[in-house]
Amino acid sequence: MAKAPKTTSKAKATVGGKSTATATKKNIRRVQGRPPKNIVPDYPDTNTMLDLYEQMLLIRRFEEKAGQLYGMGVIGGFCHLYIGQEAIVVGMQSVSKEGDSVITSYRDHGHMLACGMTADGVMAELTGRRDGYSRGKGGSMHMFSCEKNFFGGHGIVAAQVPIGLGLAFSHQYRNTGGVSLTYFGDGAINQGQVYESFNMAALWKLPVVFIIENNQYGMGTSVSRAAAGRDLADRGKAYGIPGMQVDGMNVLAVREAGAEAMAYCRDGKGPFILEMQTYRYRGHSMSDPAKYRTREEVDAMRKQRDPIDALREILINDGVENDKIKSLDTKVKAIVSKASYFALESPEPDEAELWTDVILEGGVS
């Protein structure tokens, strides 16, 4: 076990015997909108935190396994791992409601697991097998689940942003009370269609939370080399969209910001932007030259800012027994191990599958 990490959300004991990270408010900077309120951080109970921990760990272990299988040649094509960014989707989804829609880019494995899609189905899609979510026809970047309201998995940088807007339009049109959680990266933020979406979202007060996962690099180009202006959370300013910069390595800060953003949308006030400051430990995809940043930078982030280590520390300080945490580690390993066997044993799609799902029957005849 690594020594206690130095995180910006350093654990400490507080009144009432409850432990808490240093006020998560410090990890949220409001860019515009109302001034910060003095809320006591709404700490979830221990069971909820254990659940957050388990989910983040599941994504971490799943991605490590995917990386291994890629190395073995079992997973092909592009494979973008989410390691390091787990707190974002786990924190956001933990405060979403049933019926909310989720859409993201190609770095999507974590989002699917956080939406409740099975590790078996996701891994089998990565290996291109018939039991995968897209029956082997989508792969890492293109997976969907109507049942879980997960709308992909999109391979074109920023294309999911207007689509997420359309999901919000549908929520408003059908008056479902739902919110569209539209995730994209710092690389997508410079695409024109993002601003087309900001404009229409604000114009029509659509219930969409734009979640910018700023992992500091769009492929190998750092944000400072790609994006003018200081903060990505500011990018909605011209449209009157409130933005918040959040410590995306702190799942509790993410939760709190997410809850506020979603409440804002559900109140009919329109879109909200969350810039999650995060970091991916692995390369952009599996074939990453690793020349654009130093090993020291990556190591420092892993050691000092890791979201899973930080939550584990909070749990231990909260009095959760080590055995309990270890049992979660064991449980998660078993899920991932089973998924990996499942994904290797599932057969390739039937050759007839080549010709199916191109067009739906049922038109006027």
| Residues of the shown chain interacting with other proteins in the complex, contacts defined by CB under 8 A | 101, 103, 132-138, 142-146, 151-156, 159, 161-171, 173-174, 180, 192-193, 196-197, 199-200, 203, 356-365
Q: How far is the CB of 364 from other proteins (least distance, A)?
A: 4
Q: How far is the CB of 284 from other proteins (least distance, A)?
A: 20
Closer to other proteins at the Cβ: 165 or 308? Answer: 165
HEC per residue, the chain: CCCCCCCCCCEEECHHHCEEECCHHHHEEECCCCCCCCCCCCCCCHHHHHHHHHHHHHHHHHHHHHHHHHHCCCCCCCCCCCCCCHHHHHHHHHCCCCCCEEEECCCCHHHHHHCCCCHHHHHHHHCCCCCCCCCCCCCCCCCCECCCCEEEECCCCCCHHHHHHHHHHHHHHHCCCCCEEEEEECCHHHCHHHHHHHHHHHHCCCCEEEEEEECCEECCEEHHHHCCCCCHHHHHHHHCCCEEEEECCCHHHHHHHHHHHHHHHHCCCCCEEEEEECCCCCCCCCCCCCCCCCHHHHHHHHHHHCHHHHHHHHHHHCCCCHHHHHHHHHHHHHHHHHHHHHHHHCCCCCHHHHHCCCCCCCCCC
Closer to other proteins at the Cβ: 167 or 315? Answer: 167
Closer to other proteins at the Cβ: 148 or 237? Answer: 148
Closer to other proteins at the Cβ: 68 or 356? Answer: 356
Phi (first) and psi of residue 175, to 5 degrees: 55, 50
Q: How far is the CB of 312 from other proteins (least distance, A)?
A: 36
Q: How far is the CB of 202 from other proteins (least distance, A)?
A: 11
Q: How far is the CB of 99 from other proteins (least distance, A)?
A: 11
Residue 244, beta-bridge partner list: 30, 274
Q: How far is the CB of 200 from other proteins (least distance, A)?
A: 6
Q: How far is the CB of 176 from other proteins (least distance, A)?
A: 9
| Encoded tokens for 54 | 């388990």
Closer to other proteins at the Cβ: 91 or 128? Answer: 128
Q: How far is the CB of 265 from other proteins (least distance, A)?
A: 15
